[in-house]
Structure 1
Amino acid sequence: MPYYTQAQIDNIGAVIGDRVSKATNPTKLATAIDALPDRNLITDSERAKLSSLEGTKFLGTFLTVSAIPTVGAVAGSYADVDAGVGSDAERYIYDVNANKFVKSVSQIAGETAASIKTKYESNANTNAFTDSHKTKLDNITEATDITSFTAALDGALA
């Protein structure tokens, strides 16, 4: 195995770095990618359109209203405030005229156990499986002797 001096290693590194730099030239890469089928680069106008989509206006969930950042908030920006266990989440929407977040009068879409139960039981052929039903099922024991059953069946079939 050959041994290289530090000067030789530095020289090899410089050659490799130069080749990588030339191979990864942004213009050259863009041209190569554009030549691939269905691999065109995104244009500036497409990028601007994507960044204006609704998903970018959600700022996150915060513990308090005052924690929601107003810097960079625009019309349509919104955030949720959830103080933790025992408190319901609330949606706040940025009011550009007042330069602050205001509580939304609409409800945050969400389900509770009661609303799910009501919706489920409103469907045809659905019934609640209650604790008393479970208790009844738990108390059923498996038969160990089927003699009386077979005798009754034989009598019914005779």
Structure 2
Amino acid sequence: MTHVAERKVKVILAAFVAVAFAAPQYDYGPPADHSDESSEEIDVVPILRDDRVHEEDGTYNLDVETGNGIVLSQSGSPVGPDNSVVKAGEYSYTAPDGTPIHVKFVADENGFQPQSDILPVAPEFPHPIPDFVLEQIRKAAEEDAAAARGEGKDDSDSDSHSDEDEAPSYLYSSPL
């Protein structure tokens, strides 16, 4: 092997070694113990109940309860379009301000549909429809009905105007 070829092999080998050392190292073990005085204590929340049943046909039931009051109960089955999973269930927890939260839900071809007293509701129409708006609606309905009967505008107030006068002008000068 020539001196130039040896040098190329060494450069390529060095590049591979550099790439290998630069690659991120993934650690799939438990999180590192950060017991610094500056870090906050991490509360470990125990799982009180975790019951799961998975059937071969894709149906499942899930019931989970944690030590901090979170409760989840859910069941699902691949009965939706294209065997998509349709699921229903409920969950509850206590909000940081002490409010108890309880949500029932269905998730199907129409999306996620939660039901709960805590969810916002669109307000009622804030005020009655003003009379002038109702008058405009009434007038428009009368004009539509007259047009449907083939009745035109009353010609009594058009005196000497012709149909040509009704068309918009494309000239930007004073009228003759």
- Higher relative CO (Cα under 8 Å, sequence separation at least 6) belongs to 1
More strand by share: 2
TM-score if structure 2 supplies the norm length?
0.27
More helix by share: 1
Q: Which has the higher Rg, Structure 1 or Structure 2?
A: 2
TM-score if structure 1 supplies the norm length?
0.29
